[in-house]
Amino acid sequence: MVTITIDGREYPAEAGMSVLEVAKANDISIPTLCYHPSLRPSGACRLCAVEVPGRSTGRKITMLSCVLKVKEGMQINTRSEAVTRARTRAFRNLLQMAPQARRISDLAATYGIDPGPPPDGCIRCRLCIRVCKEIVGPEALKMEKRDSMDYVVPIEGRCIGCGTCANICPTDVIRVEDSENARTISIRSEIIGRHPLERCEGCGKLYATPKFLDHIHQRTSVHTDVKSHHHYCPTCAKLFSDRIKTVSDRGQK
């Protein structure tokens, strides 16, 4: 038998036991997911970190309690700042691999660990921001730091509802939904823009937002505008353009 100290209290332990086994036998709470008493410990989840003095220098270090064997006079701390940092890293690594695992987030909450923001599908490539600024023009998106992380967020009132950001997004985290004569563009649960839709005068299809059509008109008008305007979807615009060209070609013959 040996005697060890955990969080300031002495406990007897059998030689060969792990620190985690002694803790469990004495109702001392240490988080773990990969431990099972019937199997050899692997330390895979890395949640069971404790702080102990180093063997050679005596400097305090964190080690995994499931593989750490007890020794006479061992001093163990399960609640230090270093332990909290180690557990936080472990919880966040696990949630990156299994973001939908409720058990991991619940266990983190039990031990007062902030697991950080959940994965949102955005890889921060900034393609959406760049295409909206450099190609389309409205500059409706920007990066904003929230809780020490960068997020793509909308700039109020600038979205024209073109959907280019959703088309270029490599992870499909930006969504466009056309429903009940309106188009909604969103990222995560945040609305980028919500717009009414214009109906094509040719086929009757809802195809574009008024802001988008006005934006295109402003960018393509370089001369005095004296022609009559129609709202045609791209398919009908091409169809009517081809018909006009055909009639024109016949008239020249």
5 pLDDT exceeds 50?
Answer: yes
Domain borders along the chain are 2-110, 127-221
pLDDT of residue 49: 97
* Candidate CATH numbers 3.10.180.10, 3.10.20.740, 2.130.10.10, 3.40.470.10; the one for domain 2-110: 3.10.20.740
Q: Using one digit for the tens of pLDDT, what is the confidence trace for 112-163?
A: 998 887 778 899 999 999 999 999 999 999 999 987 789 999 999 999 999 9
242: pLDDT strictly greater than 90? no
Residue with tokens 């937002």: 209
Contacts of residues 86-95 at CB distance under 8 Å and 24 or more positions apart, as own/partner, are: 86/46, 86/49, 86/62, 87/31, 87/47, 87/49, 87/111, 87/113, 88/113, 88/114, 88/115, 89/46, 90/45, 90/46, 90/47, 90/49, 91/47, 91/115, 92/116, 93/46, 94/33, 94/45, 94/47, 95/119
How far CA 161 is from CA of 118, 207, 209, in Å, comes to 27, 11, 6
- pTM of the predicted structure, to 2 decimals: 0.61
Q: What is the pLDDT of residues 176-230, one digit of tens each?
A: 999 888 999 999 889 999 999 988 888 888 888 999 988 887 877 655 554 556 6
Cβ atoms of 3 and 72 closer than 8 Å: yes
